[in-house]
Chains A and B, each alone.
Chain A
Amino acid sequence: MTTSDLIALSPELIVTVLALLVLVLDLFLPPERKAWLSRISLLGLLAALVANALIHEPNPQAWQGMLASDAISGYFNFVMLLIAALSLMLSSDYLQRQGLERGEYYALLLTSTLGAMLMGSSADLLMVFLGLETLSIPLYILSGFARGQSRSQEASLKYFLLGAFSSAVFLYGIALVYGATGTTNLAALSQQLGTMSASPLLLAGAGLLLVGLGFKAAAVPFHTWAPDVYEGAPTSVTAFMAVMAKAGAFGALLRVFMLALPQQSQLASDWGLLVGVLAALTMILGNFVALVQLDLKRMMAYSSIAHAGYLLVAVAVSAAGGETAGLATSSLLFYLLAYTFMTLGAFGVLLLLERQGENLALNDLAGLALRHPLASAAMALFMISMAGLPPTAGFFAKFYVFSAALSAGNLGLVLALIGVLTSVVSVYYYLRVVYYLYMRPAAVERPIYASSSWATAALVIAALGVLVLGILPAPVFAWTQQALALVLP
């Protein structure tokens, strides 16, 4: 352990210390002061963001080849800390209203963030696994945080059982990869694969790794947990989980499949096709099933499955190698940031509307625009962005992914075609929300809990993010490309 190791780990260290601090402070704060926990967490996340921005020296083999601290991990840390901060701002008021405000919530949310950050900067399969677990276990607990509701308990148990199973599959994959190559270090793996021919053992291992990560990303056919868990978990947890689990899973997919497995071997075309099939299935099923969902949280669950499909397109076409791989990786990074803003924003509006112990249906949004024009306008903006219409972040996210796909041969062409067609399908259910907001008369008067300035601030940030990425995407896209250029030789 050297100073440079500690510097490389500093954002993660700050988040860990913060989680412990919140846990201890919770014991001493009187119940009416619990809001301080959220403020302290926000301050700490800000400190971690600053530390992350200050790391200049890339250290791709920190901690004896366990942690890669490079421009890509810097980008991932930025996105994940942003997710954590926005989720905290959105949830503190909601938790109070639902009677769920307990200090452990913040500690668990922060450790989950830590896990995702470790996944995005892991340089060893062992670290990917530990990051995956550190991300998931707090999520299992948070899903069951509303213990009074059987829905929440059911969500927690389902998520836990299936998640534990998928972790075991992932671990088995690591064992097989280790058996085939004799190393778990991603850089050593990549080097060794360049010299050896593709062995079936390695193929089996890579396949199992894909299953484990596909589960976390809610890719079809490993998605079955998502709708139930999203519906049952407290909505603030759903918002956090929808974005953070995806960021972590795609961080690991990028490290393992896009950077470590070499681009020019037999193996690459094999897993490229495999991921391509997963992506196509995920886009089709996610979008079509979302059409018939009337419960808003279930609709968002299928919508997040569909978005996992678009992200998987980027992973699949990166197998083509060369310039396409670079474009695909940059588009994946850009998409994750856009997805963060629009998903957290949409969930944020739902959080403002939800009363204790109810799940919002589409009908509950009817006529909202007349009484709450700003919240409705924000929701409409996020829906338009999710559907991928300009001038929003979602449009350029999809644009970059599909243009990377178009330069990747026949597989990419088919995937881009499916992607565009399913996006057209998705316009229907996203704009249906807007239709309910603006065109339907209200059945009952619903209050909106917009008293919290934190939640409002988070919504403003998310809306600004969606607009800025939608109008001026070039600087951020250039940033992702720079990050990639620093990492790739």
Chain B
Amino acid sequence: MEQVLFWLMAVVAVVSALTTISSRRPVHSALAFLVTLLSLAVLFLLLSAQFVAVIQIIIYAGAILVLFLFVIMLLNAQSGEGPQIKLPSQRPLAIALALLLFGGLSYLLLSSPLGAARPLPAGMGTVQAVGGILFNHFLLPFEVASVLLLVGVIGAVVLTVKEDEQPK
């Protein structure tokens, strides 16, 4: 059962991710991205990471994707046609290099022996366990991440405040 679910979700995730980057309509891309996120959430659940799965749905599928759709609709971006590609030779080169990287990494991953699965610690993946680790072991990274988010907010203000509103 788990195996079947894994393969099903893996295929769905890859196909919808490919749709996200190949679709010409931004709305279709956004919806395909939603499918990717949901299938990833199921994969997290299979790894008994319940909290991450729920967060994935609430934050990514819920909040961030809605934001994407808002932006697409506000900007009225009908089609994703970009400007003319100036270097047409880049596309085959990029595909070839990406395939090379994919091949190389797959070879390395497949040829490395993985140790036997270790038993999960009790309460793994619950909100309590994640919270406990986050505020004890990973306290410093947690705080640094908050500084990072603050910088993001400052950046958004710096780059978007209208010129005449800002004090000279």
Binding site for B on A (CB under 8 A): 1, 9, 16, 23, 31, 63-64, 66-67, 99, 102, 104, 107-108, 111, 114, 118, 124, 126-127, 130-131, 133-134, 137-138, 140-141, 144-145, 147-148, 156, 176, 179-180, 199-204
How far in angstroms is the closest Cβ of chain A from B83?
14
User: Is there contact, CB below 8 Å, between B148 and A133?
Assistant: yes
Q: 24 pairs across A/B with beta carbons < 8 Å?
A: A31-B167, A64-B136, A64-B139, A102-B158, A104-B157, A108-B155, A111-B151, A131-B144, A133-B148, A134-B147, A137-B152, A137-B155, A141-B154, A145-B158, A147-B163, A179-B114, A200-B107, A200-B109, A200-B111, A200-B112, A201-B108, A201-B109, A202-B112, A204-B105
A-B CB contacts (within 8 Å), total count:
85
**Which chain A residues border B154 with CB–CB below 8 Å?**
23, 104, 107-108, 141
Known contacts A102-B158, A111-B151, A138-B155, A67 near B140 by CB under 8 Å: yes
The complex places the Cα of A144 from the Cα of B161 at a distance, in Å, of 13
Report the interface size for chain B: residues with CB under 8 A from the other chain. 31
User: Is there contact, CB below 8 Å, between A203 and B108?
Assistant: yes
The complex places the Cα of A131 from the Cα of B145 at a distance, in Å, of 9
Known contacts A134-B148, A180-B112, A104 near B158 by CB under 8 Å: yes
**Which chain A residues border B136 with CB–CB below 8 Å?**
64
Binding site for A on B (CB under 8 A): 104-105, 107-109, 111-114, 136-141, 144-145, 147-148, 150-152, 154-155, 157-159, 163, 166-168
Known contacts A200-B112, A201-B109, A118 near B155 by CB under 8 Å: no
The complex places the Cα of A24 from the Cα of B155 at a distance, in Å, of 15
The complex places the Cα of A144 from the Cα of B155 at a distance, in Å, of 10
**Which chain A residues border B157 with CB–CB below 8 Å?**
104
How far in angstroms is the closest Cβ of chain B from A460?
31
User: Is there contact, CB below 8 Å, between B166 and A102?
Assistant: yes
**Which chain B residues border A66 with CB–CB below 8 Å?**
138, 140-141
How far in angstroms is the closest Cβ of chain A from B82?
13
How far in angstroms is the closest Cβ of chain A from B133?
10
The complex places the Cα of A34 from the Cα of B139 at a distance, in Å, of 35
**Which chain B residues border A138 with CB–CB below 8 Å?**
151, 155
User: Is there contact, CB below 8 Å, between B144 and A118?
Assistant: yes
Known contacts A134-B147, A145-B158, A204-B108, A99 near B168 by CB under 8 Å: yes
**Which chain A residues border B108 with CB–CB below 8 Å?**
200-201, 203-204
Closest chain B residue, CB of each to CB of A141? B155
Closest chain B residue, CB of each to CB of A12? B144
The complex places the Cα of A16 from the Cα of B146 at a distance, in Å, of 11
Q: Given A111-B151, A130-B141, A130-B148, list of 19 further CB < 8 A pairs? A: A1-B139, A16-B147, A31-B168, A99-B168, A107-B154, A111-B147, A114-B147, A126-B138, A126-B141, A134-B147, A137-B152, A138-B151, A141-B155, A144-B159, A156-B159, A179-B114, A200-B111, A204-B108, A204-B109
The complex places the Cα of A126 from the Cα of B141 at a distance, in Å, of 7
**Which chain B residues border A148 with CB–CB below 8 Å?**
163
Looking at chain A's contact residues, the main secondary structure is helix
User: Is there contact, CB below 8 Å, between A140 and B155?
Assistant: yes
Closest chain A residue, CB of each to CB of B167? A31
How far in angstroms is the closest Cβ of chain B from A18?
12
The complex places the Cα of A180 from the Cα of B140 at a distance, in Å, of 24
**Which chain B residues border A99 with CB–CB below 8 Å?**
168
The complex places the Cα of A9 from the Cα of B141 at a distance, in Å, of 12
User: Is there contact, CB below 8 Å, between A63 and B140?
Assistant: yes
**Which chain A residues border B112 with CB–CB below 8 Å?**
180, 199-202
How far in angstroms is the closest Cβ of chain A from B89?
16
Across the interface, A130 reaches (CB within 8 A) one of B144, B158, B163, namely: B144
Closest chain A residue, CB of each to CB of B105? A204
User: Is there contact, CB below 8 Å, between B148 and A137?
Assistant: yes
The complex places the Cα of A239 from the Cα of B122 at a distance, in Å, of 51
The complex places the Cα of A66 from the Cα of B139 at a distance, in Å, of 9
The complex places the Cα of A141 from the Cα of B159 at a distance, in Å, of 7
User: Is there contact, CB below 8 Å, between A199 and B168?
Assistant: no
The complex places the Cα of A100 from the Cα of B154 at a distance, in Å, of 16
**Residue among B113, B140, B155, B163 with most chain A CB within 10 A:** B140
User: Is there contact, CB below 8 Å, between A199 and B141?
Assistant: no
The complex places the Cα of A63 from the Cα of B112 at a distance, in Å, of 33
Across the interface, B158 reaches (CB within 8 A) one of A133, A134, A141, namely: A141
The complex places the Cα of A107 from the Cα of B150 at a distance, in Å, of 11
**Which chain A residues border B148 with CB–CB below 8 Å?**
130, 133-134, 137
The complex places the Cα of A196 from the Cα of B23 at a distance, in Å, of 45
User: Is there contact, CB below 8 Å, between A134 and B151?
Assistant: yes
How far in angstroms is the closest Cβ of chain A from B137?
5
The complex places the Cα of A63 from the Cα of B143 at a distance, in Å, of 11
